């Protein structure tokens, strides 16, 4: 049995810019449950409303996207202050944050360390 996506992660969906749509097995679920919801945040909110009914692949994708968003939120303030002027994309912001490890907030440092460990 699947557990509901933790409540704290649902709050991060407000800033979520790119719902999974056709990524990670959500295309059929989006068509089935959310065809009339529009796009962007509305689609994400709709899929979250139907999280108990979506496919396992879509559920996993939703969870992964929300966890990534939570990590983004943990580093947002650090990136704005330490990496001002850094062009987004291509991993440049993450590289900038890593170059400023000593100045990172604990939450951002922990997020980056966890992501690095997951890649190993």
Q: Is 116 exposed, middle or buried (0-12, 13-18, 19+ CB in 10 A)?
A: exposed
Computed over every residue of the chain, the mean pLDDT equals 78
In eight-state DSSP terms, residue 37 is S
Number of structural domains the chain divides into: 1
The pLDDT value recorded for residue 14 is 36
CA separation for the pair 25, 14 (Å, rounded): 22
pLDDT at 40: 76
Residue range of the domain that includes 97: 7-119
- Is pLDDT above 50 for 116? yes
Decide if 1 is inside a domain. Answer: no
Report if residue 88 sits inside a domain. Answer: yes
Q: Tokens 């900038």: give the residue.
A: 96
pLDDT > 70? residue 23? no
Q: How far apart are CA 75 and CA 63, in angstroms?
A: 19
Establish if 80 belongs to a structural domain.
yes
pLDDT category at 44 given cuts 50, 70, 90 is confident
Classify residue 27: in a domain, yes or no.
Answer: yes
């Amino acid at each position: 049995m699947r557990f509901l996506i933790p409540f704290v992660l649902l709050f991060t969906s407000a800033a979520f810019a790119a719902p999974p749509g056709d990524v990670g097995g959500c295309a059929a679920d989006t068509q089935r449950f959310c065809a009339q919801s529009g796009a962007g945040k509305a689609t994400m909110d709709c899929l979250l409303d139907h999280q108990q009914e979506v496919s396992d692949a879509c559920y996993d994708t939703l969870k992964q996207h929300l966890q990534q968003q939570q990590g983004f939120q943990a580093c947002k303030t650090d990136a704005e202050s330490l990496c001002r002027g850094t062009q987004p994309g291509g991993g440049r912001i993450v590289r900038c944050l890593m170059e400023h490890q000593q100045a990172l907030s604990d939450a951002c440092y922990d997020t980056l360390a966890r992501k690095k460990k997951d890649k190993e």
